[in-house]
Structure 1
Amino acid sequence: MTAIPQGRIRRAALASALCALAVTGTGLTACSAGDPDAGTNGVGKLPAAQIQSRTRAAADSADTVHLSGNVVSNGRTYALDMRLKPDGGSGSVTSQGVTFGLLRIGAQLYLKADAEFWDHADGKGTGTGAADKLDGKYVKVPQGDPSYKRFSGFTDKNVLLDGLLTLHGSLATDGHHEQSGIRTIRITGDKGSGGTLDVSLEGRPYPVRLVRAGGAGTLSFTDWGKDFPLAEPEKGETVDYGRQLPTS
Protein backbone atom coordinates (compact mmCIF):
# COMPACT_ATOMS: atom_id res chain seq x y z
CA MET A 1 0.00 0.00 0.00
CA THR A 2 1.46 3.33 -1.08
CA ALA A 3 1.79 5.90 1.72
CA ILE A 4 0.23 9.29 1.11
CA PRO A 5 2.71 12.14 1.66
CA GLN A 6 2.03 14.08 4.83
CA GLY A 7 2.22 17.40 2.96
CA ARG A 8 -0.65 16.39 0.68
CA ILE A 9 -2.75 15.33 3.67
CA ARG A 10 -2.12 18.68 5.39
CA ARG A 11 -3.05 20.60 2.22
CA ALA A 12 -6.27 18.63 1.80
CA ALA A 13 -7.19 19.19 5.45
CA LEU A 14 -6.53 22.92 5.14
CA ALA A 15 -8.67 23.17 1.99
CA SER A 16 -11.54 21.36 3.73
CA ALA A 17 -11.30 23.67 6.72
CA LEU A 18 -11.37 26.77 4.52
CA CYS A 19 -14.41 25.46 2.66
CA ALA A 20 -16.23 24.78 5.93
CA LEU A 21 -15.36 28.27 7.18
CA ALA A 22 -16.69 29.86 3.99
CA VAL A 23 -19.97 27.97 4.19
CA THR A 24 -20.45 28.69 7.90
CA GLY A 25 -19.62 32.38 7.64
CA THR A 26 -21.46 33.43 4.50
CA GLY A 27 -23.41 30.55 3.06
CA LEU A 28 -21.22 30.83 -0.06
CA THR A 29 -18.12 28.96 -1.03
CA ALA A 30 -15.70 28.97 -3.90
CA CYS A 31 -15.06 25.28 -3.18
CA SER A 32 -18.27 24.45 -5.02
CA ALA A 33 -17.93 27.09 -7.72
CA GLY A 34 -18.93 24.50 -10.27
CA ASP A 35 -22.46 24.47 -8.83
CA PRO A 36 -24.01 27.99 -8.78
CA ASP A 37 -26.77 26.76 -6.46
CA ALA A 38 -24.44 25.34 -3.80
CA GLY A 39 -25.15 26.91 -0.42
CA THR A 40 -28.33 28.64 -1.66
CA ASN A 41 -32.02 28.26 -0.85
CA GLY A 42 -32.40 26.04 -3.90
CA VAL A 43 -34.93 28.04 -5.92
CA GLY A 44 -32.38 28.51 -8.68
CA LYS A 45 -32.97 24.91 -9.71
CA LEU A 46 -36.73 25.38 -10.13
CA PRO A 47 -38.68 26.26 -13.29
CA ALA A 48 -39.40 29.98 -13.72
CA ALA A 49 -43.10 29.66 -12.85
CA GLN A 50 -42.27 27.98 -9.54
CA ILE A 51 -39.65 30.61 -8.75
CA GLN A 52 -42.22 33.33 -9.34
CA SER A 53 -44.71 31.53 -7.12
CA ARG A 54 -42.14 31.13 -4.33
CA THR A 55 -41.03 34.77 -4.44
CA ARG A 56 -44.61 36.05 -4.40
CA ALA A 57 -45.37 33.86 -1.38
CA ALA A 58 -42.24 35.14 0.39
CA ALA A 59 -43.14 38.78 -0.36
CA ASP A 60 -46.73 38.31 0.82
CA SER A 61 -45.61 36.69 4.08
CA ALA A 62 -43.15 39.47 5.00
CA ASP A 63 -44.60 42.19 7.25
CA THR A 64 -42.35 44.95 5.92
CA VAL A 65 -40.28 45.96 2.93
CA HIS A 66 -38.21 48.94 1.77
CA LEU A 67 -38.97 49.74 -1.86
CA SER A 68 -36.98 52.25 -3.92
CA GLY A 69 -36.62 53.16 -7.57
CA ASN A 70 -38.67 54.56 -10.43
CA VAL A 71 -42.18 53.77 -11.63
CA VAL A 72 -43.80 55.15 -14.78
CA SER A 73 -47.57 55.49 -14.47
CA ASN A 74 -50.00 57.38 -16.70
CA GLY A 75 -47.14 59.09 -18.48
CA ARG A 76 -45.50 60.32 -15.27
CA THR A 77 -42.29 59.05 -13.71
CA TYR A 78 -42.34 58.68 -9.94
CA ALA A 79 -39.16 58.15 -7.92
CA LEU A 80 -40.15 56.16 -4.85
CA ASP A 81 -38.43 55.60 -1.53
CA MET A 82 -41.04 53.89 0.63
CA ARG A 83 -41.12 51.66 3.70
CA LEU A 84 -44.29 49.61 3.81
CA LYS A 85 -46.31 47.62 6.34
CA PRO A 86 -49.69 45.88 6.04
CA ASP A 87 -51.40 48.78 7.85
CA GLY A 88 -49.53 51.70 6.30
CA GLY A 89 -46.25 53.12 5.14
CA SER A 90 -44.07 56.18 4.91
CA GLY A 91 -41.49 57.67 2.60
CA SER A 92 -41.01 60.11 -0.23
CA VAL A 93 -42.11 60.46 -3.83
CA THR A 94 -40.54 62.68 -6.48
CA SER A 95 -42.39 63.60 -9.65
CA GLN A 96 -41.59 66.28 -12.23
CA GLY A 97 -38.77 67.57 -10.05
CA VAL A 98 -40.96 68.01 -6.97
CA THR A 99 -40.55 65.84 -3.87
CA PHE A 100 -43.24 65.23 -1.25
CA GLY A 101 -43.62 62.92 1.70
CA LEU A 102 -46.38 60.37 2.25
CA LEU A 103 -47.49 58.80 5.52
CA ARG A 104 -50.43 56.45 5.92
CA ILE A 105 -51.59 54.89 9.17
CA GLY A 106 -54.65 52.74 8.71
CA ALA A 107 -57.06 54.67 6.50
CA GLN A 108 -55.58 58.10 7.27
CA LEU A 109 -53.23 59.44 4.60
CA TYR A 110 -50.98 62.46 5.13
CA LEU A 111 -49.10 64.41 2.49
CA LYS A 112 -46.13 66.60 3.47
CA ALA A 113 -44.57 69.09 1.07
CA ASP A 114 -43.07 72.55 0.89
CA ALA A 115 -44.79 75.77 -0.18
CA GLU A 116 -43.57 75.41 -3.75
CA PHE A 117 -45.46 72.13 -4.11
CA TRP A 118 -48.71 73.59 -2.77
CA ASP A 119 -48.26 76.80 -4.74
CA HIS A 120 -48.01 74.71 -7.91
CA ALA A 121 -50.96 72.57 -6.79
CA ASP A 122 -53.39 75.44 -6.29
CA GLY A 123 -52.47 76.85 -9.70
CA LYS A 124 -52.15 80.44 -8.49
CA GLY A 125 -48.38 80.72 -8.53
CA THR A 126 -48.40 83.38 -5.85
CA GLY A 127 -46.43 81.63 -3.12
CA THR A 128 -48.82 83.03 -0.51
CA GLY A 129 -52.05 82.05 1.23
CA ALA A 130 -52.75 78.33 1.51
CA ALA A 131 -49.31 77.33 0.23
CA ASP A 132 -47.54 79.08 3.11
CA LYS A 133 -49.91 77.58 5.68
CA LEU A 134 -49.33 74.06 4.37
CA ASP A 135 -45.55 74.43 4.00
CA GLY A 136 -43.79 71.56 5.80
CA LYS A 137 -46.98 70.32 7.46
CA TYR A 138 -48.59 66.88 7.43
CA VAL A 139 -51.78 67.62 5.54
CA LYS A 140 -54.65 65.19 6.03
CA VAL A 141 -55.86 63.90 2.68
CA PRO A 142 -59.67 63.36 2.65
CA GLN A 143 -60.65 59.91 1.39
CA GLY A 144 -63.00 61.49 -1.13
CA ASP A 145 -60.24 63.64 -2.63
CA PRO A 146 -58.77 62.51 -5.99
CA SER A 147 -55.29 62.75 -4.44
CA TYR A 148 -56.19 60.04 -1.92
CA LYS A 149 -56.70 57.36 -4.54
CA ARG A 150 -53.75 58.64 -6.54
CA PHE A 151 -51.21 58.58 -3.71
CA SER A 152 -52.46 56.03 -1.17
CA GLY A 153 -51.43 53.18 -3.45
CA PHE A 154 -47.80 54.19 -2.95
CA THR A 155 -48.22 53.41 0.76
CA ASP A 156 -50.13 50.12 0.40
CA LYS A 157 -47.83 47.08 0.46
CA ASN A 158 -50.33 44.62 -0.98
CA VAL A 159 -51.65 46.90 -3.71
CA LEU A 160 -48.21 48.05 -4.74
CA LEU A 161 -46.62 44.61 -4.86
CA ASP A 162 -49.62 43.05 -6.60
CA GLY A 163 -49.29 45.65 -9.32
CA LEU A 164 -45.52 45.45 -9.62
CA LEU A 165 -44.42 41.84 -9.14
CA THR A 166 -45.90 40.66 -12.42
CA LEU A 167 -43.95 39.58 -15.47
CA HIS A 168 -45.75 39.53 -18.80
CA GLY A 169 -45.58 36.78 -21.37
CA SER A 170 -43.82 33.42 -21.30
CA LEU A 171 -41.63 32.93 -18.21
CA ALA A 172 -38.06 31.68 -18.34
CA THR A 173 -34.93 31.72 -16.20
CA ASP A 174 -32.01 33.92 -17.26
CA GLY A 175 -29.08 32.71 -15.24
CA HIS A 176 -27.48 33.48 -11.92
CA HIS A 177 -26.61 37.08 -11.06
CA GLU A 178 -25.67 39.31 -8.14
CA GLN A 179 -27.51 42.40 -6.90
CA SER A 180 -26.03 44.55 -4.10
CA GLY A 181 -23.93 41.64 -2.90
CA ILE A 182 -26.83 39.17 -2.93
CA ARG A 183 -26.74 36.15 -5.22
CA THR A 184 -29.88 35.94 -7.33
CA ILE A 185 -31.65 33.89 -9.95
CA ARG A 186 -33.24 35.99 -12.69
CA ILE A 187 -36.57 35.21 -14.30
CA THR A 188 -37.92 36.98 -17.36
CA GLY A 189 -41.14 37.50 -19.24
CA ASP A 190 -40.92 37.11 -23.01
CA LYS A 191 -37.11 37.02 -22.91
CA GLY A 192 -37.00 40.31 -21.02
CA SER A 193 -39.46 42.39 -23.00
CA GLY A 194 -42.11 41.46 -20.43
CA GLY A 195 -39.87 42.46 -17.52
CA THR A 196 -37.18 40.81 -15.39
CA LEU A 197 -37.11 39.91 -11.72
CA ASP A 198 -34.07 38.98 -9.64
CA VAL A 199 -34.92 36.63 -6.77
CA SER A 200 -32.66 36.10 -3.75
CA LEU A 201 -30.82 32.79 -3.53
CA GLU A 202 -29.90 33.55 0.07
CA GLY A 203 -32.37 32.96 2.87
CA ARG A 204 -35.97 33.34 1.80
CA PRO A 205 -36.53 33.87 -1.96
CA TYR A 206 -37.50 37.52 -1.70
CA PRO A 207 -37.66 39.80 -4.75
CA VAL A 208 -34.46 41.83 -4.99
CA ARG A 209 -34.68 43.84 -8.21
CA LEU A 210 -37.44 44.34 -10.76
CA VAL A 211 -37.16 45.83 -14.24
CA ARG A 212 -40.69 46.49 -15.45
CA ALA A 213 -41.86 45.76 -18.96
CA GLY A 214 -41.84 48.52 -21.55
CA GLY A 215 -39.38 50.73 -19.71
CA ALA A 216 -41.93 51.36 -16.96
CA GLY A 217 -39.34 51.60 -14.21
CA THR A 218 -36.77 49.75 -12.12
CA LEU A 219 -37.23 48.96 -8.44
CA SER A 220 -35.12 47.48 -5.65
CA PHE A 221 -36.49 45.65 -2.62
CA THR A 222 -34.61 45.46 0.68
CA ASP A 223 -35.17 45.07 4.44
CA TRP A 224 -37.81 42.38 4.08
CA GLY A 225 -39.30 41.69 7.51
CA LYS A 226 -37.33 44.45 9.26
CA ASP A 227 -39.66 46.51 11.45
CA PHE A 228 -39.71 50.31 11.45
CA PRO A 229 -41.64 52.92 13.47
CA LEU A 230 -44.91 54.26 12.09
CA ALA A 231 -46.64 56.90 14.21
CA GLU A 232 -49.16 59.70 13.86
CA PRO A 233 -47.52 63.13 13.46
CA GLU A 234 -47.74 65.63 16.31
CA LYS A 235 -50.84 67.85 16.33
CA GLY A 236 -48.72 70.94 15.83
CA GLU A 237 -47.35 69.41 12.63
CA THR A 238 -50.76 68.50 11.19
CA VAL A 239 -53.20 70.51 9.10
CA ASP A 240 -56.76 69.47 8.21
CA TYR A 241 -57.28 71.31 4.93
CA GLY A 242 -60.91 70.33 4.53
CA ARG A 243 -62.90 68.23 2.12
CA GLN A 244 -60.61 68.66 -0.88
CA LEU A 245 -56.97 69.55 -1.39
CA PRO A 246 -55.70 71.95 -4.07
CA THR A 247 -55.63 70.20 -7.43
CA SER A 248 -52.17 69.02 -8.53
Structure 2
Amino acid sequence: MQLAYCRRMGLALIAVVTIAMTSCSSEPDTPTAAPMAQIASNSETAPAENGIDQLPPEEALGTVIANLDDAGTYRVSGTTSAGSTIDITFKTGEGSVGTVITDSEVELVAHDGVVYITSDAATIADIVGADVDDTIADKWLLISPESSSSFSIFAEGSDFAEAVLGSQVQGELTSVQEVNGVPAVGLMFAETGGTLWITATGEPLPLRFEEKGASGGSGILTFSDFGEDVDVEVPDEDDVVDPSTLPSEDDEDDDAEADESSED
Protein backbone atom coordinates (compact mmCIF):
# COMPACT_ATOMS: atom_id res chain seq x y z
CA MET A 1 0.00 0.00 0.00
CA GLN A 2 1.36 3.38 -0.97
CA LEU A 3 0.53 6.18 1.45
CA ALA A 4 0.05 9.87 0.89
CA TYR A 5 3.59 10.45 2.10
CA CYS A 6 4.89 8.73 -1.03
CA ARG A 7 3.19 11.45 -3.07
CA ARG A 8 4.66 14.25 -0.93
CA MET A 9 8.35 13.65 -1.34
CA GLY A 10 8.74 17.20 -2.62
CA LEU A 11 9.36 17.89 1.08
CA ALA A 12 12.76 19.49 1.61
CA LEU A 13 14.41 16.27 2.79
CA ILE A 14 14.60 15.01 -0.77
CA ALA A 15 14.97 18.37 -2.51
CA VAL A 16 17.93 19.33 -0.36
CA VAL A 17 20.30 16.83 -1.89
CA THR A 18 18.80 15.49 -5.09
CA ILE A 19 17.97 18.94 -6.47
CA ALA A 20 19.81 21.68 -4.61
CA MET A 21 23.15 19.90 -4.47
CA THR A 22 23.33 17.97 -7.71
CA SER A 23 21.10 20.33 -9.73
CA CYS A 24 20.11 17.35 -11.83
CA SER A 25 16.96 19.09 -12.97
CA SER A 26 18.76 22.18 -14.26
CA GLU A 27 19.22 22.67 -17.96
CA PRO A 28 22.87 22.51 -19.00
CA ASP A 29 24.49 25.78 -19.99
CA THR A 30 27.98 27.11 -20.31
CA PRO A 31 29.43 26.66 -16.83
CA THR A 32 31.26 29.47 -15.12
CA ALA A 33 33.31 29.29 -11.97
CA ALA A 34 31.36 29.79 -8.78
CA PRO A 35 32.07 33.18 -7.16
CA MET A 36 33.62 31.51 -4.13
CA ALA A 37 35.95 29.61 -6.42
CA GLN A 38 37.01 32.85 -8.06
CA ILE A 39 37.87 34.61 -4.82
CA ALA A 40 39.31 31.67 -2.87
CA SER A 41 42.78 32.89 -3.68
CA ASN A 42 44.56 34.48 -6.61
CA SER A 43 48.00 33.45 -5.40
CA GLU A 44 49.22 30.31 -7.09
CA THR A 45 51.51 27.91 -5.28
CA ALA A 46 53.73 25.00 -6.33
CA PRO A 47 52.19 21.96 -8.03
CA ALA A 48 50.10 19.67 -5.83
CA GLU A 49 52.29 17.58 -3.55
CA ASN A 50 50.05 14.56 -4.09
CA GLY A 51 50.08 14.94 -7.88
CA ILE A 52 46.30 15.19 -8.21
CA ASP A 53 46.63 18.15 -10.57
CA GLN A 54 48.65 16.02 -12.99
CA LEU A 55 45.81 13.56 -13.58
CA PRO A 56 43.15 13.83 -16.30
CA PRO A 57 39.98 15.33 -14.76
CA GLU A 58 37.91 12.15 -14.91
CA GLU A 59 40.73 10.12 -13.36
CA ALA A 60 41.23 12.73 -10.65
CA LEU A 61 37.54 12.59 -9.77
CA GLY A 62 37.60 8.80 -9.69
CA THR A 63 40.60 8.91 -7.36
CA VAL A 64 38.81 11.28 -5.00
CA ILE A 65 35.68 9.13 -4.86
CA ALA A 66 37.77 5.99 -4.27
CA ASN A 67 39.69 7.69 -1.46
CA LEU A 68 36.44 8.87 0.10
CA ASP A 69 35.22 5.29 0.08
CA ASP A 70 38.49 4.04 1.56
CA ALA A 71 38.26 6.59 4.38
CA GLY A 72 35.30 4.66 5.71
CA THR A 73 33.53 7.64 7.24
CA TYR A 74 33.10 11.29 6.35
CA ARG A 75 30.92 14.27 7.22
CA VAL A 76 29.12 16.64 4.85
CA SER A 77 27.85 19.93 6.26
CA GLY A 78 26.76 23.29 4.91
CA THR A 79 23.92 25.25 3.37
CA THR A 80 22.60 24.87 -0.16
CA SER A 81 21.79 27.87 -2.33
CA ALA A 82 18.13 26.94 -1.86
CA GLY A 83 18.55 27.70 1.85
CA SER A 84 18.52 24.18 3.26
CA THR A 85 21.14 23.09 5.78
CA ILE A 86 22.55 19.58 6.05
CA ASP A 87 24.89 17.95 8.54
CA ILE A 88 25.23 14.26 7.80
CA THR A 89 27.96 11.78 8.66
CA PHE A 90 28.27 8.73 6.42
CA LYS A 91 29.71 5.35 7.28
CA THR A 92 30.49 3.52 4.07
CA GLY A 93 28.94 0.09 3.91
CA GLU A 94 26.69 0.74 6.91
CA GLY A 95 24.65 3.95 6.74
CA SER A 96 24.51 7.51 7.99
CA VAL A 97 23.27 9.80 10.76
CA GLY A 98 22.50 13.50 10.78
CA THR A 99 20.01 16.29 10.18
CA VAL A 100 18.43 18.18 7.30
CA ILE A 101 16.88 21.58 8.01
CA THR A 102 14.63 23.59 5.74
CA ASP A 103 11.41 24.87 7.28
CA SER A 104 11.93 22.44 10.14
CA GLU A 105 14.60 20.04 11.32
CA VAL A 106 14.45 16.42 10.19
CA GLU A 107 16.70 13.88 11.88
CA LEU A 108 17.69 10.76 9.98
CA VAL A 109 19.46 7.50 10.62
CA ALA A 110 20.20 5.04 7.83
CA HIS A 111 21.31 1.45 8.29
CA ASP A 112 21.51 -1.47 5.85
CA GLY A 113 19.56 0.41 3.19
CA VAL A 114 16.72 1.43 5.49
CA VAL A 115 16.25 5.10 6.43
CA TYR A 116 14.55 6.26 9.61
CA ILE A 117 13.40 9.87 9.92
CA THR A 118 11.79 11.90 12.69
CA SER A 119 10.71 15.50 13.15
CA ASP A 120 8.04 17.59 14.82
CA ALA A 121 4.43 16.45 14.59
CA ALA A 122 3.50 18.99 11.90
CA THR A 123 6.31 17.89 9.59
CA ILE A 124 5.58 14.19 10.08
CA ALA A 125 1.89 14.88 9.42
CA ASP A 126 2.86 16.58 6.15
CA ILE A 127 4.94 13.56 5.15
CA VAL A 128 2.30 10.92 5.86
CA GLY A 129 -0.65 13.11 4.91
CA ALA A 130 -2.58 12.34 8.07
CA ASP A 131 -3.13 13.41 11.66
CA VAL A 132 -0.26 12.03 13.75
CA ASP A 133 -0.97 13.50 17.17
CA ASP A 134 -2.00 10.16 18.68
CA THR A 135 -0.55 7.75 16.13
CA ILE A 136 3.10 8.42 15.45
CA ALA A 137 4.02 11.65 17.20
CA ASP A 138 7.60 11.46 18.55
CA LYS A 139 8.20 8.26 16.57
CA TRP A 140 10.67 7.39 13.82
CA LEU A 141 9.28 6.67 10.37
CA LEU A 142 10.77 3.68 8.60
CA ILE A 143 11.46 4.37 4.93
CA SER A 144 12.27 1.12 3.15
CA PRO A 145 14.16 1.06 -0.17
CA GLU A 146 10.90 0.05 -1.86
CA SER A 147 9.06 3.10 -0.53
CA SER A 148 11.16 5.72 -2.26
CA SER A 149 14.38 5.27 -4.17
CA SER A 150 15.08 8.97 -3.56
CA PHE A 151 16.15 8.15 -0.02
CA SER A 152 18.91 5.86 -1.26
CA ILE A 153 21.23 8.87 -1.46
CA PHE A 154 21.23 8.97 2.35
CA ALA A 155 21.49 5.24 2.92
CA GLU A 156 25.05 4.61 1.74
CA GLY A 157 28.15 6.80 1.75
CA SER A 158 29.41 5.59 -1.62
CA ASP A 159 26.00 6.19 -3.22
CA PHE A 160 25.97 9.73 -1.85
CA ALA A 161 29.45 10.40 -3.24
CA GLU A 162 28.50 9.07 -6.65
CA ALA A 163 25.27 11.11 -6.72
CA VAL A 164 26.90 14.39 -5.74
CA LEU A 165 30.34 14.02 -7.32
CA GLY A 166 29.74 11.53 -10.11
CA SER A 167 28.91 14.07 -12.80
CA GLN A 168 30.78 14.86 -16.00
CA VAL A 169 33.70 17.16 -15.31
CA GLN A 170 34.63 20.24 -17.33
CA GLY A 171 38.10 21.19 -18.54
CA GLU A 172 41.32 20.87 -16.59
CA LEU A 173 41.92 21.15 -12.87
CA THR A 174 42.93 24.58 -11.59
CA SER A 175 46.36 25.35 -10.27
CA VAL A 176 46.92 24.92 -6.53
CA GLN A 177 45.23 27.64 -4.46
CA GLU A 178 44.60 28.24 -0.80
CA VAL A 179 41.03 27.34 0.16
CA ASN A 180 40.27 27.91 3.83
CA GLY A 181 44.00 27.80 4.46
CA VAL A 182 44.39 24.42 2.77
CA PRO A 183 46.22 23.89 -0.55
CA ALA A 184 43.64 22.61 -3.04
CA VAL A 185 42.85 22.30 -6.73
CA GLY A 186 39.45 22.96 -8.26
CA LEU A 187 37.47 20.66 -10.53
CA MET A 188 34.37 21.95 -12.33
CA PHE A 189 31.28 19.93 -13.27
CA ALA A 190 30.03 20.43 -16.79
CA GLU A 191 26.33 19.82 -16.12
CA THR A 192 25.86 22.04 -13.07
CA GLY A 193 28.73 24.54 -13.08
CA GLY A 194 29.58 23.45 -9.53
CA THR A 195 33.18 23.32 -8.33
CA LEU A 196 34.80 20.64 -6.21
CA TRP A 197 37.94 21.62 -4.30
CA ILE A 198 40.32 18.71 -3.72
CA THR A 199 43.15 18.64 -1.20
CA ALA A 200 46.56 19.03 -2.83
CA THR A 201 48.47 17.40 0.03
CA GLY A 202 48.14 13.92 1.50
CA GLU A 203 45.49 11.63 0.05
CA PRO A 204 43.38 13.57 -2.48
CA LEU A 205 40.04 14.07 -0.74
CA PRO A 206 37.11 16.42 -1.30
CA LEU A 207 37.48 19.61 0.69
CA ARG A 208 34.56 21.75 -0.41
CA PHE A 209 31.80 21.63 -3.00
CA GLU A 210 30.46 24.95 -4.30
CA GLU A 211 27.23 25.19 -6.22
CA LYS A 212 27.16 27.48 -9.23
CA GLY A 213 26.57 31.01 -7.93
CA ALA A 214 27.63 30.19 -4.37
CA SER A 215 28.12 33.28 -2.24
CA GLY A 216 28.11 34.41 1.37
CA GLY A 217 28.39 30.86 2.68
CA SER A 218 25.29 29.75 0.78
CA GLY A 219 25.69 26.96 -1.74
CA ILE A 220 28.80 25.56 -0.03
CA LEU A 221 29.15 22.07 1.39
CA THR A 222 32.22 21.05 3.38
CA PHE A 223 33.66 17.53 3.58
CA SER A 224 35.46 16.69 6.83
CA ASP A 225 36.05 14.16 9.64
CA PHE A 226 37.46 11.50 7.35
CA GLY A 227 37.92 8.17 9.11
CA GLU A 228 36.48 9.40 12.41
CA ASP A 229 34.52 6.99 14.60
CA VAL A 230 30.80 7.11 13.84
CA ASP A 231 28.03 5.39 15.77
CA VAL A 232 25.06 4.64 13.53
CA GLU A 233 22.49 3.63 16.11
CA VAL A 234 19.17 2.33 14.80
CA PRO A 235 16.12 3.56 16.74
CA ASP A 236 14.54 1.14 19.18
CA GLU A 237 11.92 -1.04 17.55
CA ASP A 238 9.23 0.30 19.89
CA ASP A 239 9.96 3.82 18.65
CA VAL A 240 9.65 2.98 14.94
CA VAL A 241 6.51 3.19 12.81
CA ASP A 242 6.28 1.67 9.35
CA PRO A 243 4.01 4.05 7.37
CA SER A 244 2.97 1.20 5.07
CA THR A 245 1.04 -0.30 7.98
CA LEU A 246 -1.01 2.84 8.53
CA PRO A 247 -4.35 3.42 6.81
CA SER A 248 -4.19 5.84 3.92
CA GLU A 249 -6.62 8.69 3.37
CA ASP A 250 -8.30 6.63 0.60
CA ASP A 251 -8.73 3.70 2.98
CA GLU A 252 -10.34 5.95 5.56
CA ASP A 253 -12.74 7.30 2.94
CA ASP A 254 -13.63 3.75 1.84
CA ASP A 255 -14.27 2.73 5.45
CA ALA A 256 -16.53 5.73 5.97
CA GLU A 257 -18.50 4.91 2.83
CA ALA A 258 -18.79 1.28 3.95
CA ASP A 259 -20.15 2.36 7.34
CA GLU A 260 -22.73 4.58 5.67
CA SER A 261 -23.79 1.74 3.41
CA SER A 262 -24.18 -0.68 6.31
CA GLU A 263 -26.34 1.83 8.15
CA ASP A 264 -28.61 2.09 5.12
TM-score by length of 1: 0.67
Q: Which runs of 5+ in 1 are unaligned?
A: 1-32
How many pairs are equivalent?
203
CA shift at 1:62, angstroms? 2.1
Output the CA distance in 1 between the equivalents of 2:115 and 2:58.
Answer: 36
The structure-2 alpha-carbon separation of the partners of 1:156 and 1:78, relative to structure 1 and needing over 3 Å to count, comes to: farther
Equivalent pairs: percent with the same residue?
23
Residue 224 (1) aligns with residue 226 (2): yes
Q: Does the alignment pair 1:110 with 2:109?
A: no
Deviation at 1:59, TM superposition (A): 1.8
Q: CA deviation at 1:63?
A: 1.1
Q: Does 1:61 align with 2:67?
A: no
> What amino acid maps onto 1:179 in structure 2?
V
Q: Max radius of gyration: which structure?
A: 1
State the 1:206 CA deviation: 0.4
Say which SS state the counterpart of residue 188 (structure 2) adopts.
Answer: strand
Q: Give the corresponding residue for 2:172.
A: 172
Asked if the contact 2:47–2:175 (Cα under 8 Å) also holds between the matched residues in 1, the reply is: no
Contact (CA 8 Å) 1:144, 1:244: kept in 2 or not?
no
Q: Report the CA distance between 1:165 and its aligned residue.
A: 0.8
Deviation of 1:143 (Å): 4.1
> Which amino acid in the other structure matches residue 209 of structure 2?
L
Give, in whole Å, the separation in 1 of the partners of 2:247 and 2:112.
Answer: 20
Structure 1 counterpart of 2:107: 101
Instruction: Name the aligned partner's letter for residue 92 of structure 1.
Output: T
1:70 Cα deviation from its structure 2 partner: 4.4
Cα distance change of structure 1 residues 212 and 35 upon mapping to structure 2, 3 Å threshold: closer
How far apart in 1 are the matches of 2:163 and 2:242?
31
**Alpha carbons of 1:212 and 1:230: their partners in 2 closer, same or farther (altered >3 Å)?**
same
Cα 1:43–1:243 change in 2 (3 A) is: same
Question: Residue 155 in 1 paired to residue 155 in 2?
Answer: yes
Q: How far is 1:222 from its partner?
A: 0.8
- Contact persistence 1:144–1:243 (CA under 8 A): no
Q: 1:164 to 1:151 in 2, by over 3 A?
A: same
TM alignment of 1:183-202, pairs within 5 A: 183-189=183-189, 194-202=193-201
Q: Deviations over 1:145-176 (max 9, x none)?
A: 34xx2323223212211111135453212232
User: Is this contact kept in 2: 1:176–1:185, CA < 8 A?
Assistant: yes
Counterpart residue number, 1:41:
50
Is 1:204–2:210 an aligned residue pair?
A: no
Say if 1:144 and 1:34 are closer, same or farther in 2 by CA, change over 3 A. Answer: closer
Change (3 A) 1:224 1:47: same
Q: Displacement of 1:54 after TM fit?
A: 2.3
3-state SS, counterpart of residue 178 of structure 1:
strand
Q: Structure 1's 246 and 204: CA in aligned 2 closer, same or farther, altered over 3 A?
A: farther
Please say if 1:90 is aligned against 2:97: yes
Match of 1:52 among 61, 66, 73: 61
Equivalent position SS for 2:173: strand
Tell me how far 1:234 sits from its aligned partner: 2.7
Shift of 1:208: 0.9
**CA 1:53–1:234 in structure 2 vs 1: closer, same or farther (change >3 Å)?**
closer
Q: CA RMSD in A?
A: 3.3
**Conserved in 1, the CA contact under 8 Å of 2:140 and 2:240?**
yes
Rate the CA distance shift 1:78–1:45 in 2: closer, same or farther, 3 A. Answer: same
Q: Output the amino acid matched with 2:57.
A: A
Which amino acid is the alignment partner of residue 61 of structure 2?
A: Q
CA positional deviation for 1:217: 4.7
